[in-house]
Amino acid sequence: TDPGVIRNFCIIAHIDHGKSTLADRMLQLTGVVQPREMKAQYLDRMDIERERGITIKSQAVRMPWEHDGETYAFHMIDTPGHVDFSYEVSRSLAACEGALLLVDAAQGIEAQTLANLYLAMEHDLTIIPVLNKIDLPAAQPEKYAEEIAHLIGGDPADVLRVSGKTGEGVEELLDRIVEEIPAPEGDAQAPARAMIFDSVYDTYRGVVTFVRVVDGSLGHRERIKMMSTGATHELLEIGVSSPEPEPTKGLGVGEVGYLITGVKDVRQSKVGDTVTSQAKPADAIIGGYDEPRPMVFSGLFPIDGSDFPVLREALEKLQLNDAALSFEPETSAALGFGFRVGFLGLLHLEITRQRLESEYNLDLISTAPNVIYDVTAEDGEVHVVTNPSEFPDGKVSEIREPVVAATVIVPSEFVGAVMELCQARRGTMEGMDYLSEERVELRYRLPLAEIVFDFFDQLKSRTKGYASLNWQGEGDQAADLVKVDILLQGDKVDAFSAITHRDHAYAYGVRMASRLKELIPRQQFEVPIQAAIGSRIIARENIRAIRKDVLSKCYGGDISRKRKLLEKQKEGKKRMKMVGTVEVPQEAFIAALSSD
Ligand code: GDP
Ligand code: MG
């Protein structure tokens, strides 16, 4: 295809602002999906996406569009909407020349959209602003067109107004894409270079890799080379999605399509990597390459210890399609055999856990998530701590924790409430801007550990649901952190250790000690529960002893009742874990670890 007629674009939108619905109308108007085959949110095909209504993996669709007697080839690249997948978003943007900024005309722009808009501007994409859902009675297109023009410049009258639902304005939008978004430029004679912006594992076809060709071309049956690893593969199939896969002879400058090489693991086909030809390799990777880095770690343990091999197999399967998922075996005295699993963020953790439970039928306990700390011991050695149990004993000279740059958008009446919350979470304000008279953008620097738990829930409840949040990693900082251990009869219970800010350590210790006192049944002897920082005890509770024989309340009378009681007791024993000499029911661990 002549690069002059190619237009590559993505849609930047907040969840529920109508991206999938608009994509449906485009598929219809360009004729690539026949009316009788049309179903809502056509492109969201993964089950998990349908369930949660969000797009996790990006995809690319090729559509033809006639304009002034010429047939253009559009490649619409779908970007994941959530902050946990921001590296994938940035690669998808890098594969485009333009972006549609899609904003719900009854809601206005939200924090995540803003973050992706800034990313698109950094990549020098042409932005076409579009107000959607103008059919809604509550739509206020004039007001939000002002807001958008204020943000990106230009005249509010130039902001397109469409309805993905009724189709109004969508043809005009397709024409604007031809007129405003530049055609791709690249050197057709140069060695091939194609950037991977997504790779997906398919049970039948193995890994399907989505690429944007920058220079040269790739052809069917050619041997290709992954530039970050040097690994080579034969191109068994190359083609475009329209939206069903259509094999072609090859892909040239500016084209977007898929490759199949028979590899079985997405880690061999990494998002951000550059594909070149083995016979005539290029010498530079496109735009640098980042390995996905897990930000949040949690221990996952099967409730039924015999499920451990099933959990291992399930994690290995998920990893085929999720290059960002990392895990290694972990043994806990309290919880048995499990895995320490690394995630990009809390949503990633939640989705993974949900899939393990629903698709693999596993019952899991997960320990409180924590971030990565760099702990410098007194002897100068630096420990990378992803698990409280790796925290070095003895004195430490410095602890560094990851920090993020967070953006919150709220109606101005809630500014005070947001500031209060951010301050309580050790945040420092970096700036504040009025998007309009009623809406404010607040920028904070916050420790990642303070926002991974319940920050978003708190933010929502303090702003009646109006706030939107986005954040991205911004290095690390030194902090006054300590490890708090929980001891039962003098023995540490590893699953309950936590790394917290010194100011929160006491509260954590008191809370865990009193929770456990409620949850652990009385034993034949007294059991002290202690919370400690090193050897210093900061909180203490006691579980008093029982001496009574369980059978004594039966007055020696009814034999069958006695037997029943004994059996019941035996059953209970099975679900008990021994911590030192203390019997702890498994339910106590689960309840103590659940956050509320
Ligand atoms: P996405 O999360 O951005 O992909 O949003 P969806 O396309 O899934 O749309 C979210 C909700 O808004 C759905 O209930 C759609 O039916 C609805 N919606 C999308 N576009 C329009 C529109 O133009 N008008 C109206 N009234 N509703 C719309
Ligand atoms: Mg969607």
Indicate if ligand 1 lies below 6 Å from the C-beta of 106: no
Determine which residue's CA is closest to atom 19 belonging to ligand 1: 18
Indicate if ligand 1 lies below 6 Å from the C-beta of 168: no
ipTM field: 0.99
Closest listed ligand to the CA of 24: 1
Binding-site entries: 16-21, 132-135
CB within 8 Å of 463: residues ≥ 6 apart:
410, 411, 414, 417, 418
Q: Report pLDDT digits (tens) over 493-523.
A: 888 889 999 998 999 999 999 988 888 888 8
Binding-site entries for GTP: 16-21, 132-135
Question: Residue 264: its pLDDT value, please?
Answer: 84
Rounded-to-10 torsion of CA 40, 42, 43, 45: 90
Question: Residue 202: its pLDDT value, please?
Answer: 77
Strand segments, DSSP code E, in 388-534 are 396-411, 428-434, 439-447, 468-478, 481-488, 491-492, 498-501, 527-533
Cβ-based neighbour number of residue 222 at 10 Å: 18
Cβ-based neighbour number of residue 303 at 10 Å: 16
Q: What's the chain's average pLDDT?
A: 87
CA 197, CA 345: separation in Å to the nearest integer?
20
**What is the CA(40)–ligand 1 centre distance, in A?**
10
Question: Residue 123: its pLDDT value, please?
Answer: 87
Point out the residues of the chain with pLDDT beneath 70.
44-58, 81-84, 288-289, 547-576, 594-596
Q: Report pLDDT digits (tens) over 206-261.
A: 888 999 999 999 999 999 999 988 999 999 999 998 888 889 999 999 999 999 99
Indicate if ligand 1 lies below 6 Å from the C-beta of 62: no
**What is the CA(133)–ligand 2 centre distance, in A?**
14
